[in-house]
Amino acid sequence: MAAALLVVVLTAVVTIMPWGGKSWLQNAAAAEAQQHARLAMEEMVNELKYAYRIEVDGERQRLTYYKKRSGSLRRYQIYVSGRQLLLGLPEGTAVPLANHIETLFLAPNGQLQRGDVLSMTLEVSIASQTITLRSAVAAKNIAVVVP
């Protein structure tokens, strides 16, 4: 009797295990996609908050901005290359902000004016799990004259 009960329990466990494993893998991929998107979005907001000038090229998924460093304005870029979101530094090097990027939507296009709000939508996809995050930032230093 005990052996028959053990066989029934083991059969049920073996039948259910693949479903649980697949669900766990999907949830892990979704969590990883969300983490990539969240970190990238936070970094973009932090970088742009104190920019003196922001130029948006939505078609090329690229934005150029200028921040004050050592008394002068320095040029930075955030752009998508392949499936990476990169931060281009004034020295010419690029630092990855996130991987698994599907799209970066930026609006409005062109040079932002004082009071304009930059809307950003970032879509990240990992193992058929897609996460879309939206955020906005209004740069505090636009139209401030730098000596």
CA distance 65 to 54: 4
pLDDT tens profile 84-130: 999 999 999 999 988 889 999 999 999 999 989 999 999 988 877 78
pLDDT at res. 12:
64
The answer to whether residue 18 is domain-embedded is yes
Q: CB burial class (10 A; 0-12, 13-18, 19+) of residue 95? A: exposed
Nearest to 38 by CA among 132, 145, 141: 132
By residue count, the chain amounts to 147
Instruction: Look up the domain containing 69 and give its range.
Output: 2-137
The answer to whether residue 143 is domain-embedded is no
The answer to whether residue 55 is domain-embedded is yes
Residues 6 or more apart whose CB falls under 8 angstroms from that of 112 comprise 53, 54, 55, 56, 118, 139, 142
When divided into structural domains, the chain yields a total of 1
- Taking the model in full, what pTM does it have? 0.77
